[in-house]
Structure 1
């Protein structure tokens, strides 16, 4: 695929795979990639946390003033000097619209119909970031709330306030995603983002 940068230069870019986190975390390569990223760039990153499991986030980067690191739609990906421990991989995206459109599609379902462990592609919108997406397993927070990579799919039984749409994915449609272990039910409710 060929894309055009804001400066008018064209570049060839390979479409990103739907879900392919690296087998190993390469800290030096992450640090090198992070050194090329700036506030306002768009990226796709694989993050791994004990609470949310391994998930992919696609969206814009911003500077976090408190530690001078980068955030990817609210998730820290670096400090001033190094990648955060949850970051497995990050790739700059030159065409954010195409990257979001290329994500796997599934059956659009109401957030209330999702359950803990479902494979989900969640599309969200926040004025500060614009549109972004998270791909991974839904994690229950108590009885009536579900999150995907820290973003609410449902809160107290109602759709998450930032959720645009949620798509339940069939395991066979996204190689690599079905093999993800399902995180345990989180017992701490976080604030609705």
Structure 2
């Protein structure tokens, strides 16, 4: 699982464009993302179409609206451009792992977890990735862009969390602790 979360060494943009073109709202998909702030994480859930026809999964943009393009045979085809943070699609893990159910309060920065969430309009979805702590608040835990726990307790959208492996025992990249995001326009 940890090697899978590392993702491919190179993005296959052409392959992802073709694969995303076949996805309709409501289809169950798995998308591997890579960001500096949250590291690599996999989101699996139902595709959600925005009013502009962009595709989302678990509240994150996966691909842009369909646009006409020339197919390999010269015929008009429709493709979706993958979001810049999408590392692989479809992201299909072919293996097995045995995560253990844990309390979110027992997690630490760098643990590899599988967490299930429920949030309308995205429905139920699963995020697999490395836990990140806030730089100045070790109780503020996230996996990908989703909150697991704060000082007040578990996030209301969190259904369950399971640990795949503890920090230091896997090869998945571990991002630095999350610092404050500063916006220059708001600093004055």
TM-score, normalising length: structure 2: 0.76
Distance in 2, Cα, partners of 1:117 & 1:23 = 21
Q: 1:19, 1:72 → 2: CA distance?
A: 22
Q: For residue 23 of structure 1, what is the aligned residue in structure 2?
A: 9
Describe how 1:176-187 pairs up with structure 2 within 5 A.
Answer: 178-187=170-179
Unaligned runs of 5+ residues in structure 2 are 66-79, 182-188
Partner residue, 1:152? 147
Which residue number in structure 2 is paired with residue 52 of structure 1?
38
| CA distance, structure 1, for counterparts of residue 104 and residue 11 of structure 2 | 32
Gap runs ≥5 in structure 1: 1-16, 94-98, 172-176
Give matches, 1:84-163, under 5 Å.
Answer: 84-91=83-90, 104-141=97-134, 142-143=136-137, 144-163=139-158
Higher relative contact order (CA 8 A, sep 6+): 2
Q: Who wins on radius of gyration, i.e. which is larger? A: 2
TM-score, reference length from structure 1: 0.74
Gap change, CA 1:184 and 1:23, over 3 Å in 2: same
Task: Call closer, same or farther: CA 1:103–1:124 in 2, change over 3 Å.
Answer: farther
8 Å contact from structure 1 (residues 122, 134) kept in 2: yes
Q: Which residue of 2 aligns with 1:8?
A: none
CA RMSD of aligned residues (A): 2.5
CA contact (8 A) 1:112 1:157 kept: no
- Indicate conservation of the 8 Å contact 1:122/1:166, yes or no: yes
What is the CA distance between 1:92 and its match in structure 2?
8.3
Aligned counterparts of 1:43 and 1:18: Cα–Cα separation in 2: 20
